Amino acid sequence: MWLQIARRALIVGLSLAPLLSSGLSQPAQAFPALGQDVCPEPNDTFQAACYLGPNSDANGFISNPNDVDAYRIEVLDFNTDIHVEMKMPLAYKVELANWNGDVIASSAPGQGAEVIDTTLPIPGSYYIFVHSRSGASSDSQPYNIFRSLSYPGSKIPDILFSSEFRQGSQEALTGKNQFGDDFSVDGGRYVITMKSAGEAEDPSQAWWTGFGPDLTDFTMTADARVANGTDAGAQVFFRFIDNDNTYFVTIDAKDGQVKLSKKVKGELTGTDWVSTDAVNTGGGVNRVVIRCFHDEILVNVNGEDIFNVSDDSFTHGRIGIGAVAWDQPPVLNFDNVIITPPTEG
């Protein structure tokens, strides 16, 4: 039953889950009223997941056999160890899922609690789901859930910028550009609705390049999904100076390939396309992680390092996201944009 729950949550609630920034997050409260979860019901989808902050715990209720409680956590570095522990009155279970709803760890009993201990390979948002093992439930006896993260460095990375894309968000451009492409915030996602079709040798593009401050070194995470389109993909710009001077990564969500490009004074160069099974070509989310440290550039897609190159054409700039079409104009969703300082290594 759990796999059905996870997939339903992905289709109905995710496609991309919101990132709750420090100013707008609604953290879990430790002592809700009797029978009341820390997040208002329904809270069983990615979009409705309650933020579970650093070293925090929360009480919740599995009030009926089909009840599922969802929590979102933010991981800020590569290879981060996570410990999840739940004390419960009845036979409940904890599942840890990634950005695509894939269960990557399940709890095992340990000293009177359900426990997960695992390592998360890349940064970004992950999801904890609590549900009944075999139909037991209670709206009067709460469970208590706790999580902690152990980072490979000596301290927790700072958050330089994050965006949750909630309705009314002022963190991103909304409206239409001169080509009629529409940029909007809808359902906890940033949505680019393109109006211009492209061709194989002449793709159309739509982008916005105003996220966060001007950055030198950073690690950036963004989730992208082609919500509607037959031959389309996502682009992530970084160290963007202007339209003629920037790096950008293109993810072809149809053919499963990735390319790293740059423009210097308007002259476009780049790597060859790299085909990889890491790219989700089935309509799911592609998580893109870009790390810039001095002249070192790392591009990771869904946990696989695609490019690791040295280039010093640009040493600073802004972040941007965009859509690209090789056929009919698509709709792209973006979410979970988070930027931290890079760790060395």
Per-residue pLDDT of the chain (345 residues; tens, 9 = 90+): 434 434 444 433 333 333 222 222 333 444 344 455 556 555 556 667 888 988 678 999 999 999 999 999 999 999 999 999 999 999 999 999 999 999 999 998 877 899 999 999 999 999 999 999 999 999 999 999 999 999 998 889 999 998 877 555 556 678 898 888 999 988 888 999 999 999 999 999 999 888 788 999 999 999 999 999 999 999 999 999 999 999 999 999 999 999 999 999 999 999 999 999 999 999 999 999 999 999 999 999 999 999 999 999 999 999 999 999 999 999 999 998 999 999 864
Global pTM?
Answer: 0.86
Q: How far apart are CA 258 and CA 273, in angstroms?
A: 6
Q: Residue 303 is part of a domain; what is its CATH number?
A: 2.60.120.560
Identify whether residues 173 and 306 lie together within a single domain.
Answer: yes
Q: Residue 15 is part of a domain; what is its CATH number?
A: 2.60.120.380
Residue 31 domain boundaries: 2-150
Identify whether residues 135 and 166 lie together within a single domain.
Answer: no
Contact 93, 63 (CB under 8 A): no
Q: How far apart are CA 25 and CA 19, in angstroms?
A: 8
Contact 339, 225 (CB under 8 A): no
Task: Write out the DSSP string of 188-249.
Answer: TEEEEE------SSS-EEEEEEEEEEEESSEEEEEEEEEEE-SSEEEEEEEEEEETTEEEEE
Identify whether residues 142 and 167 lie together within a single domain.
Answer: no
Strand order in the sheet with 80-87: 57-60, 143-150, 80-87, 113-120, 108-110
Identify whether residues 281 and 228 lie together within a single domain.
Answer: yes
| Number of domains making up the chain | 2
Q: How far apart are CA 111 and CA 313, in angstroms?
A: 55
Contact 21, 162 (CB under 8 A): yes
Residues 6+ apart with CB under 8 A from 304: 276, 278
Phi, psi of 2 (to 5 degrees): -60, -40
Identify the CA nearest to 6 among candidates 55, 33, 59, 44.
Answer: 44
The CA–CA distances, whole Å, from 121 to 71, 91, 304 equal 19, 30, 9
Tracing tokens 């002249």 back to the chain, one arrives at 295
